[in-house]
Structures are given as structure tokens and as C-alpha cells.
Amino acid sequence: MFDKRLMQMCPESRRYIIGNIILQFLELCLNTVMIVTIAQAVQKLYEKAWGLEELTVPLLIIACTIMLRFFTTRGAARMSYLASRTVKQVMREKIYSKLLRLGPAYREHVATAELVQESVEGVDQLESYFGQYMPQFFYAFIAPIALFFLFGFGGSWRVATVLLICVPLIPGAIMMVQKIAKKLLSKYWGQYTKLGSTFLENLQGMTTLKTYQADGFKNEQMNEESEHFRKVTMAVLTMQLNSVTIMDFVAYGGAALGILLATKAFVSGQLGLANCIFMILLSADFFLPMRRLGSYFHVAMNGRAASDKIFHFLNEEEPAGRTEAVTGHDIALNGVRFGYDKEREILHAVSMTIPEGSFIGIVGESGSGKSTIASLIMGRHTVGNGKMTIGGKNVTDAAEESLMKTVTYIGFGSVFFKGSVRENLLLASPGASDERLWQVLDDCQLSSFLRKEQGLDTPLLENAGNLSGGQKQRLALARAILHDTPAYIFDEATSNIDIESEEAILAQIKRLAKTKTVIMISHRLANVVDASRIYCMEEGRVVESGAHAELLNQNGVYAKLWNTQKALESYGKEAV
Ligand SMILES: Nc1ncnc2c1ncn2[C@@H]1O[C@H](COP(=O)(O)OP(=O)(O)OP(=O)(O)O)[C@@H](O)[C@H]1O
Ligand SMILES: [Mg+2]
């Protein structure tokens, strides 16, 4: 019923919770004063001891208590708001900074859609936990005990005891449903995030689905998932409704019992009229805080189920100790072994030497592990066995910022953000002047196109959807050049684009290779002919390495690949 983890996660909200409890207790005191005043006035009037003129003071007291209650109610609501605001802020900050610490590898731990749901809606669910449930949790215990003594001293210990004994029936009912609720809600959240993921995936893949006319199939799949979600939601609601009915029965039944006992005591003369009225009017207050706790309990359980997922994410293992600054720029792999999962090793003792300023090619058939090497150099995964260093320092120890200032990776699916061309370019070099931007765009043969548009202010749609594949890739190159790091990795950077764009990009890469370290990963061997050293890979191993001419002389895997590609190209030309 009480989650220590959540409380420890956000100790800042504690004072607001305590403030809320105090204000609610004050409200109870004011309510008591008002009821006692009413009860006494009724008795005096009944006994004809007071005339109407004596009612001025009690009426003034009642008016005062109503006014003060207005402030305590508002104050409690404000405390509730502050507690939930604080927790939402703290939790979202924690998720965000965790995300930053995990870096791009976060996808290994959680799907993007799920994370978005957890940090938006999941965190919202915690609002009720901290704002309502937590203060009510304590107040619901304090209020009946305070009332017990009040009833005992001010009226009848018998009635007080009977009521106090009935109160725990409500938390008893809560505890009974808690187990079922926990299971159901965890199922509910699982289904909810799953549906969210599917929805996002289908939305993003709409074009593909339409192309293959598979939208109908996906529609059915989503209908099925929605139906599961509907069922689990209905199960949750039924469970909540049933438990609310039980709690209502106990709460109102208990209050009725109190009223009955007080009336009986009055009739038998054991209790005065004022005391009887006072007990009748207040007996519901014995149960209402617990009853309210019961209502908040369901919302809080929902928050807790969401928080379980959030905690799971926050507890994910982080790449530790990445603090070293990269100073040198030589890259070396020494007997590197790596697998994305334990069962399957992808790289088997790969060794490579990439001296500063060199132009290195990595070739090999699809799936041989080329991009995996690039990912490792970028520090996206931890090397399992062997050593990989930049400037003599382990890449796994290198601080992310320092590593990103040393190497720039350009793949074939570069991401652009909605905004202007300028904004997207300045990501790589925030201080660059317009002149410098135009210079690079010119080098990447984009300037004439952009000048016809709106220049640097040309808007880009989400992921540069309004550019052609070739333009997009040239823009990615321009952005990378602006980043100005000592080393670059081009991973199939010229795949699937027009020949003009490819040539423009290759020319720039060759120019870059004169002053920077360039690692060129490519299917097309012609692209790496000029490399000082080419590593030829096969099934996660470096099978050959050397300059183009040396490798041809070896007449091995590289020579075979080269001859096949040559034959295909000349066949293509003959066919034309
Ligand atoms: N994120 C991943 N999780 C699990 N396995 C992966 C992952 N990425 C790649 N692999 C596996 O690792 C192997 C090497 O993949 P990699 O992407 O390095 O090949 P590649 O040489 O770059 O191929 P290509 O030329 O087609 O780009 C493949 O068998 C692939 O199935
Ligand atoms: Mg690849």
C-alpha cells in the first residue's frame, strides 16, 4: 500500500505531503468545532435555555469555521498540486538524464514509443499517487484515532470503540483486492504500451503498408490488440467498481451503525442531546477518510504499475566510467571480439591499425561485420574481449563528448530535424558563419539548388522528407564536414543515390582524406582503391589487408570480389 521506492525517489515532495496532512487535520478540527457549536445550540434551543438572540455567537463561530475551512481546503489542494508537480518534474528529469547517460544505446533497453508513453502518461499517473493517495494514506489513520478520543471523552466510549473497530474493514478490503489489482494493472500497462508501440510503428510505416496493401492486415492486428486492451481495461474497471461497492458498504454501514448506537444511547438516557447530535453528524467522518483512501488507491495503483516500468528503465545498467578525454587520434583494434547477444559472436578477434590521417577502407560481403566495427569505434557498444583504443585510450573509457569530438559517423540514413537547413547544419558547428555554411554547401554541390529555394532558410520537413535521397546525403556530408573532427567513418554513405551525388560525395571524401583520418566502409571496391590500407572482411574476421595493388596480387577474397564487380560493371556498359 505504500511504496518506499517512490518516496525515496522524490524526497522533495515530502514537505508538501506533510503540509497536506496538517491542513486536512485542521479542516477536521474546524468541522468538529462547527458541529459541536451546532449541537450545543440545538440542545439549548430544545431546552428553551436560549432565545434566538443568543444564537449570534454560535452563528458567528459557524461562519468563521466555514471561512477558515475554505482556506484549509484550498491550502490542501495547493499542497496536493505542489507535491504532484514536484514529482512529475523530478521523475521526468531522472528519465531524461538516464536517457542521456545511456545514449543512443537506449533502444537496446526500451522501445521508443514505450519510453514516450512512460515519461508522458506514466509520469502523469504518479500525480495522484503523490498529490492524493500519499497524504490520504496518513490522514486516513490519523482522523479515526483523533475522532475515537473525541467521541470517547465527549460522548460514549462504546460508540467510539465500535466505530474504530469497523474502520479497518476498509483497508482490509483494499488489501484483499490489492493482489488482484497489481496483477491486472501490470497486464493493463503492458497491453497499453504494446498498443502504443504498434500504433507508432504502423503510423511511421504507413507508406510501406500502403505499398504492399498490407494496411488491412495491420488494421486487423491492431483491432485484435485493441480488443485485448479493451478486455483488460474492463477487467480493471470491474475490479475497481466491485471494491468500491464493498468499501461503500463498510463506510456507510459503519456510519449508520454509529448513528444507531448514538440514538440508542440518547433514548436510554446515557447520552445528552448535544452529544448525540454531535456523534450523529460526525460518525461519517470516521469512515470518509478511509473511504476516500480506497478511491485514491485505484488511481495510485495505476501510478505504481506505471512506476514499476519507469523504475525498470531507471535501473538499466549504464555504461560505466566513461570519463577519459581522448587526446591522440590513432585508432587500433586488437583481437576484438563482440556479439550483440551472448549466444552469437559477430566479430572474431578483429585487429586493425588506423593511424591518424590515414585513408582506410573496410570491405566485405553483407553481414560480415563492417557496420558493427563502426558502431564499436563510436562507443555505442562495449567490446566483449580484446582491446580497442583511440589515441592509446580504451574507447569504452572515453567520455562520450570527447569521443564525438574525435570521430564523426555518416551512415546512409542520416537524421534531420524539422526546421531550416541552417538550423540543421548548425547542429554540427553552432558558431559557423553563413559564409562558411555556403562554402561547405558549395563543396557538396548543394548551393545552386538551395539558392533557388530559400537559401539557408529553406525549410526541412521531418527527416528532410522534402529532399531527394541524393540531396539528403549531400546535406549529411555537409553537416559532417562542418563538424570538423580529426576522424570520419563513412558507412555506405553513397549507397542508393544517383551517380552525380555519389561522385560529389566521393570527391569530398577524398579531399577530406588529405587532412583527416577517413574510414570508408563500402560495398563498391572502386570507392576504396585509393585507400592506404584496405581491410577485407568475411564472417566477422579480417581475412586480408593491404593496399589495393597488394590485395590484387594476393589473388584471394578481395581479388575475387574486385573481378566480380569489374565484370558486372563492364557487362552493364556493354549492355548500354
Ligand atoms: N543491433 C543488432 N542486433 C543484433 N544483431 C545485429 C545487430 N546489428 C547487426 N547484427 C548482426 O551482426 C552481423 C553483422 O552486421 P553488420 O551490420 O556489422 O554487417 P555489415 O558488414 O555492415 O553488412 P552490410 O554490408 O549489409 O551493411 C549481421 O549478421 C547482423 O545480423
Ligand atoms: Mg553495414
Higher pLDDT, 456 or 111: 456
> Domain residue spans in the chain?
4-314, 324-402+521-576
Residue 108 C-alpha to ligand 1 middle, in angstroms? 15
pLDDT confidence of residue 28:
92
Asked if the model's pLDDT at residue 105 lies above 80, the reply is: no
Residue 505 C-alpha to ligand 1 middle, in angstroms? 24
Q: Which atom of ligand 1 is nearest to the CA of 364?
A: 21
Q: Whose CA is nearest to atom 14 of ligand 1?
A: 369
80 and 23 Cβ atoms separated by less than 8 Å: no
Domain 324-402+521-576, CATH among 1.20.5.440, 3.40.50.300, 3.40.640.10, 3.40.1390.30: 3.40.50.300
Q: Give the pLDDT band (50/70/90) at residue 232.
A: very high
Q: Whose CA is nearest to atom 1 of ligand 1?
A: 340
Per residue in 317-329, pLDDT (tens digit) is 877 667 888 888 8
Q: What is the residue whose three cell numbers read 489489482?
A: 181
Phi, psi of 322 (to 5 degrees): -90, 85
CATH architecture of 4-314: Up-down Bundle (1.20)
Order across the sheet with 541-546: list the strands.
407-410, 487-491, 517-521, 359-364, 533-538, 541-546
* Calpha distance 107→9 (Å, rounded): 24
In this prediction the pTM is: 0.71
Q: Whose CA is nearest to atom 2 of ligand 1?
A: 340
522 and 565 Cβ atoms separated by less than 8 Å: no
Per residue in 519-545, pLDDT (tens digit) is 999 988 989 999 999 999 999 999 999
Residue 100 C-alpha to ligand 2 middle, in angstroms? 25
What amino acid occupies position 358?
S
Asked if the model's pLDDT at residue 362 lies above 60, the reply is: yes
Contacts with 68 (C-beta within 8 Å, 6 or more apart), sequence order: 30
Cell of 42: 440545538
Q: Give the pLDDT band (50/70/90) at residue 67.
A: very high
Residue 372 C-alpha to ligand 2 middle, in angstroms? 7
Residue 367 C-alpha to ligand 2 middle, in angstroms? 7
Give the 3-state secondary structure of residue 545. strand
Asked if the model's pLDDT at residue 432 lies above 90, the reply is: yes
Of 155-159, 293-297, 431-435, 570-574, the poorest mean pLDDT is in 570-574
Q: Percent of the chain beyond pLDDT 70? A: 98
Q: Cα 137 from chain centroid?
A: 28
pLDDT confidence of residue 106:
79
Residue 332 C-alpha to ligand 1 middle, in angstroms? 21
Order across the sheet with 347-354: list the strands.
347-354, 331-338, 385-390, 393-394
pLDDT confidence of residue 574:
62
* Calpha distance 374→411 (Å, rounded): 10
Cell of 121: 502518461
Contacts with 384 (C-beta within 8 Å, 6 or more apart), sequence order: 337, 338, 339, 345
pLDDT confidence of residue 436:
95
Tell me which long-range contacts 463-472 makes (C-beta under 8 A, separation of at least 24).
Answer: 463/415, 463/416, 464/416, 464/424, 468/498, 469/496, 469/497, 469/498, 469/501, 470/497, 470/498, 470/500, 470/501, 470/502, 471/446, 471/501, 472/414, 472/416
pLDDT confidence of residue 573:
63
103 and 380 Cβ atoms separated by less than 8 Å: yes
Which uninterrupted H or E stretch holds 16? helix 14-46
pLDDT confidence of residue 125:
84
Q: Which of 346, 381, 523 to mutate to test the pocket of ligand 1 (most atoms within 8 A of CB)?
A: 346
Nearest Cα neighbor of 93 from 129, 119, 128 is: 119
Higher pLDDT, 571 or 78: 78
Asked if the model's pLDDT at residue 575 lies above 60, the reply is: no
pLDDT, mean over the chain: 89
Give residue ranges with CB within 6 A of ligand 1.
340, 346, 364, 366-372
pLDDT confidence of residue 376:
92
Q: What is the residue whose three cell numbers read 473525541?
A: 150
Q: What is the residue whose three cell numbers read 545552386?
A: 448
Q: Give the pLDDT band (50/70/90) at residue 240.
A: confident
**Which residues have CB less than 5 Å away from ligand 2 (the ion)?**
371
pLDDT confidence of residue 31:
92
Per residue in 127-168, pLDDT (tens digit) is 888 888 889 989 998 999 999 998 888 778 888 898 888 888
Asked if the model's pLDDT at residue 108 lies above 80, the reply is: no
Cell of 7: 518516496
User: Average pLDDT in the 284-313 region?
Assistant: 85
Total residue count of the chain as it appears in this document: 576
Q: Which ligand is nearest to the CA of 369?
A: 1
* Calpha distance 122→469 (Å, rounded): 38
Q: Whose CA is nearest to atom 24 of ligand 1?
A: 366
Q: Evaluate whether 4-314 and 324-402+521-576 have a shared fold.
A: no
Give the 3-state secondary structure of residue 336. strand
* Calpha distance 3→308 (Å, rounded): 10
Per residue in 366-393, pLDDT (tens digit) is 999 999 999 999 988 888 789 999 998 8
Per residue in 171-204, pLDDT (tens digit) is 888 788 778 888 888 899 889 888 988 898 898 8
140 and 289 Cβ atoms separated by less than 8 Å: yes
Q: Give the pLDDT band (50/70/90) at residue 2.
A: low
Residue 531 C-alpha to ligand 2 middle, in angstroms? 19
Contacts with 365 (C-beta within 8 Å, 6 or more apart), sequence order: 538, 561
Q: Which ligand is nearest to the CA of 350?
A: 1
Per residue in 305-355, pLDDT (tens digit) is 888 888 888 888 877 667 888 888 899 999 999 998 888 999 999 999 999
